[in-house]
Amino acid sequence: MSSFLSQLDPVSLLSITLITATPLTLAALGGMMCERSGVVNIALEGIMLTGAFVGYAAAFATHNLWLGVLAAIVAGMLIAGLHAVLSINFLVDQIVSGTVINILAVGITGVFYRTFIESQNRAGPGTLPQWNIPFFSDIPVLGPIFFQNQFVTYAMLALIVIVHFTLFHTVWGLRTRACGEHPRAAETAGINVYFVRYVNVIASGALAGLGGAYFSLQQIGNFLPGMTGGRGFIGLAAMIFGQWTPVGAFLASLLFSASDQVGSRLQSVFHVPIPLQFLGMLPYILTIVVVAGAMGRAVAPAAVGRLYKKS
Amino acid sequence: MRERLHVDWLINSIFVPVASVAAGFVVAGLVVAATGADPLLAFTSLFQGAVTNRNAFPETLVSTVPYVFLGLGVALGFRAGLFNIGAEGQFYIGALSGVFIAYSIHGLPAVIEIPLAMVAGMAGGFAWASIAGFLKARFGAHEVITTIMLNYVAFLVANYLVDTPGLMLARDVSTPRTPDVDVNAVLPIIVAGSRLHFGLILALVAVPLVWFLIERTTIGFQLRAVGFNQGAARAAGMSVGRTMVLAMGLSGALAGAAGIVQVLGVSRHMTDTVAAGYGFDAIAIALLARSNPWGVLPAALLFGALHNGASFMQLQTDVSADLISIVQASVIIFIAAPAIVRWIFHLRPEAAGSVQITSREAKTPV
């Protein structure tokens, strides 16, 4: 009976929803930086996978989780840099370039995982510690949800504010949005469109790379091939549903992860006779419905996905 | 002028793809070297596993068969401006619907049972893919997101159907799988002593058929028109939405054909485990073929050889079979960015307008 009640506990439900929304939100924030500057980024999935792997490998080698987190971010920036080179300099179709990175990530993580990690017998680096913020973590309801988390989740919450501020209250944000809406006009106004796009694409790699660290260093303390399981694409959908705004994307990410949690609880607590597989479909179907429903009203950056050649 | 066009054609259709594949192997070799293994040894065993070992070449052709159908499907989508990244899900739904017919019917001659199962498989793939086509045409939902999501749903559907007693789960089996298909639905072996089956002939027939469909029929003309310029197609009185749904459906039907041919020719039943990667392989093949059905044939053969050789390589040298993903990704980079290849080989810049592989209109945001 007590486990029944604890599983029903709305506080724990909200807490786990916030935690599992972490990689979705980070992917969505990354996609947003990128797309606001006019570059489509379907590579988020591959960037997260790379971040998850490199972060784990670095933590494994150095016995230091924080170096792992740093390595995940740097790896994300590097592979996103490839997306930038291909789509900005070589004018490769941005969808094709993103696909390349998704395939490349599977290959690179698979090959190096087999050589360096799989055969090792020693224990992994563990998971990032839970930090209880003094005083705040004791507040009923809000404490356990917001102030008893691990690093990546705190970072995600902070980054929502930072990305919002950067995009809408700084000169850089204004330039970014100008490049995404009308690159020609931006260039005429003296903005270096290539430079702005480069920085934003690489920043999106940092965000998604941190999202990757969530999987290997925060959630399970291990790396498994393909462990991101489509979360990068769901994050992209969250960005669209959130109308390319940080707060909107965060709320959309919460919705997706809640659908996942509610589904599994329906079965484990109420024994609703719905096959496990159908509950597993919920977030994916919700993503499809949301993308279809949101698209009509969405205000995408006008120049997103269009190749731009400096005049 | 005519000579210049001829030279351009040679460069674009022969030299750039071949150079891209070569460059892809160089990149993969560097990665192998980075893991501490010997790239030459790895590629030698890859080649042995794909071509020279006993029965290796027929096995390579066995792997090539689904790739031909999958590559044709994605290429057809490209021509209509659609980026069908969900060939894998369509493959499974096609295999599921086809295998259901193939194990349910009994006692009919093979010339009836095989086409019935094929039609069911293609219909399954068509229906599944046209969901994404409809969502794009009606709501503007980008097919890259919807087809990926439909992949995951398809895996779970397959898992549910194959795992649930009373649905498609066979009786008295240790691992969940469907019953075996009827003997008369099995595609005959065409090379004695190997697993090479009649699906190869079907794949070889599919290539000219798809070429004819795209290049010589009204439907094909509409597909290409919508892919090239939606506004102009609409102005010419075509229904852009209906053409999109149809193009996506046909693309999925070919992926479904790959699924059911694989079941009827090789496995003869379906399990609930999902071997990932067909969808991305298909994209690489279609890009390498520059969306030309004839080009799909050599591209599919190459990927069939890679796929088949990779497992032998992993066995022999302990280099992960995932290495071929690196070859694929590099090949796509060089194909999609001919500027890089031209820069490496000091070729003159390409004539304007001929760079595009996927005449896509970036209208719907991702």
177-236 in chain A: CB under 8 A from chain B: 225-226, 230, 233-234, 236
The upper half-sphere exposure of residue A173, i.e. CA atoms within 13 Å in the direction of its Cβ, equals: 12
> Which is it for strands A148-150 and A130-132: parallel, antiparallel or unpaired?
antiparallel
User: What pLDDT shows up at residue B362?
Assistant: 42
Residue A98 backbone dihedrals phi, psi, to 5 degrees: -65, -40
20-49 in chain A: CB under 8 A from chain B: 35, 40, 42
The upper half-sphere exposure of residue B145, i.e. CA atoms within 13 Å in the direction of its Cβ, equals: 35
pLDDT level of residue B360 (50, 70, 90 thresholds): very low
pLDDT per residue of chain A (311 residues) written in tens, 0 to 9: 445 555 567 888 889 999 999 999 999 999 999 999 999 999 999 999 999 999 999 999 998 999 999 999 999 999 999 999 999 988 888 888 998 999 999 999 988 888 888 777 777 788 888 888 888 888 888 888 888 899 999 999 999 999 999 999 999 999 999 999 999 999 999 999 999 999 999 999 999 999 999 999 999 888 988 899 889 999 998 998 888 999 999 999 999 898 888 777 776 776 777 788 888 888 889 889 988 887 656 667 888 877 888 77
Q: Average pLDDT, whole number, for chain B?
A: 87
From A100, A277, A300, residue closest to B332, measured CB to CB? A100
DSSP letter for B286, please. Answer: H
Measured between beta carbons, the chain B residues lying within 8 angstroms of A304 are 362, 365-366
Q: Is pLDDT of B138 > 80?
A: yes
User: What pLDDT shows up at residue A235?
Assistant: 94
CB B257, CB B206: distance < 8 Å: yes
Measured CA distances, B57 to A166, B39, B50, B200, B357 (Å): 57, 22, 6, 13, 31
Please count the residues of chain B: 366
pLDDT level of residue B347 (50, 70, 90 thresholds): low
H/E stretch holding A57: helix A44-62
User: What pLDDT shows up at residue B94?
Assistant: 95
Cα angle A111-B282-B232, degrees, rounded to a multiple of 5:
135
Q: Is pLDDT of B356 > 60?
A: no
- With both helix axes pointing from N to C terminus, report the angle between B87-104 and B240-262 in degrees, rounded to the nearest 10: 60
Please count the residues of chain A: 311
**Rounded CA gap, B264 and B202, in Å?**
12
Residue B85 backbone dihedrals phi, psi, to 5 degrees: -95, 5
- With both helix axes pointing from N to C terminus, report the angle between A231-241 and A276-295 in degrees, rounded to the nearest 10: 40
CB A222, CB A56: distance < 8 Å: yes
Average pLDDT over residues B210-222: 93
Q: Is pLDDT of B361 > 70?
A: no
Complex ipTM value: 0.85
User: What pLDDT shows up at residue B175?
Assistant: 84
Among A206, A203, A209, A126, smallest CA distance to A172 is for A203
B112-125 pLDDT, tens digit each = 999 999 999 999 99
DSSP letter for A129, please. Answer: P
Residue A150 backbone dihedrals phi, psi, to 5 degrees: -95, 170
**Rounded CA gap, A21 and A172, in Å?**
27
CB pairs under 8 A between A and B: 172
Q: How many helices (H) and strands (E) does chain B have?
A: 15, 0
The encoded tokens of residue A201 equal 């694409």
The encoded tokens of residue A112 equal 């190096």
